Amino acid sequence: MIEKIRDYKIINKLGEGGMGTVYLANDVMLERKVAIKVLNPLLTKDSQFTERFRHEAKVQASLVHPNIVALYNFFQEEDHYCMVMEYVEGETLKHLISSKGPIPEQKAIWILSQMVEAVGFAHKKGIIHRDIKPSNILISNDDTIKILDFGIAKILQDKGLTKTGTKMGTIYYMSPEQIKAAKDIDNRTDIYSIGVTFYEMLSGRVPFNVDTESDFEIMNEIVSGEIKDPREIYPHISDWIVKLLFDAVEKDRDKRIKSAEEFSQRLLSKGEGQQPAPVFDKTVIDSPGLQTNIPQTPVTPPPSTAPPVPVEKPAVVQPKQNLAPTPKAPVITPKKKSSAAKFAIFGGIGAVVLVVGYFVVFGSNSSNGSNQMTGEEPWVINKDYGSRYYGPSRQDLKSEDVISHNPRFLPASSQKAVAASL
């Protein structure tokens, strides 16, 4: 086993196939694990072939997609041509099927959708895989799929390494047009190979005779034989999945699913493509309900066209005229009542103020006059205040005496005694 290739230290061998041997290696410079495929010397003896291979490697390097194994480098080391690729921790789809049997439908749909997405991305760039099969599909630990070897199968087919007696691999997934060696191979050949792979995922086996060792019998079965219903092998498959599957593996490519986009749309709509009926059915169900209300209006006009006209006038005009005066009456009456109430309240307050003022002014004057005319002495606190009202006998009174004899400063029991002494 090779121990080191350039800056890549070989860890162990991952596998071996018709294209060559794959090693797990450590990129010393970037400190990451990579997969290195050392191509079979049979593929590299022809210089014209190696030049085409280098061109196809450049094309594959341009396919940057989460579901396509990335190609990091392609170089020649001594007599070996090496491809440095992304390393994916997981297993091949082939190993998963052979170890666990049929894959549950929902998981199979999830794997299929990623395959279709990746193949559709390559088709938009004008690249056809030509060798879609479970051994070329890696599944990571989180069920993310990665497709291997884009653009390489065309070179191998031109080299004649996909025919009988080679180690290139199985022909079970080749389309009828590939078997016939048609010159105008297009993207529909990948659709067919995806369909056969999907069949194997659902049933656990390919739809052809695996007990024969004759490649001719297998090719004849692919071109002209009938594919059995996968539910004869594994019954737990939905009807729409079976229909979608048979549309993908149609022998006549003109009747086959035409593109990866159509494949994806039919997966999302559960087999109906761009013509799903759920939304349309709802509109049809709702429309009769609306139509049953609409004919009630046209039923009256046919007998006579005159009645509908008067019906509209009273219904529209009269309610508006009756509603107009009603809001005015309640608005006017509260205003009048509120103004009258205000007038009465302010008038009453004004009258009370006038009466009190009159009593204060005229009542005080009359009391002072009566005191002067009768000779009664008003109570005083200051001896000098109001002295003109006292006789000469009271002028010499001290303020203490006045205060002490003033009944306003004495208790009620002493007021009579003070008045008698004065």
Distances, alpha carbon 421 to alpha carbons 101, 216, 412, 414, in Å: 138, 161, 16, 11
SS3 219: helix
Half-sphere exposure in the Cβ direction for 64 (13 Å, CA): 2
Which residue matches tokens 């608005």?
331
The DSSP H or E segment spanning 137 is strand 137-140
| Cβ-based neighbour number of residue 38 at 10 Å | 21
**CA nearest 257: which of 194, 171, 174, 173?**
194
The two tokens of residue 293 are: 């209300």
Determine contact, residues 51/103, Cβ cutoff 8 Å: no
The DSSP H or E segment spanning 349 is helix 325-374
Determine contact, residues 236/208, Cβ cutoff 8 Å: no
CA–CA dist 367, 63 (Å, integer): 121
131 catalytic? Reply is: yes
CA–CA dist 229, 238 (Å, integer): 12
Q: How many helices (H) and strands (E) does the chain have?
A: 16, 9
Determine contact, residues 143/111, Cβ cutoff 8 Å: yes
**CA nearest 203: which of 228, 231, 227, 222?**
231
SS3 81: strand
DSSP for residue 278: H
Which residue matches tokens 């049929």?
102
Buried b (16+ CB within 10 A) or exposed e, 87-115: bbebebbbebbeeeebbeeeebbebbbbb
Determine contact, residues 267/117, Cβ cutoff 8 Å: no
The DSSP H or E segment spanning 180 is none
The DSSP H or E segment spanning 8 is strand 8-16
Catalytic residue among 27, 131, 149, 247: 131
Residues assigned a catalytic role? 131
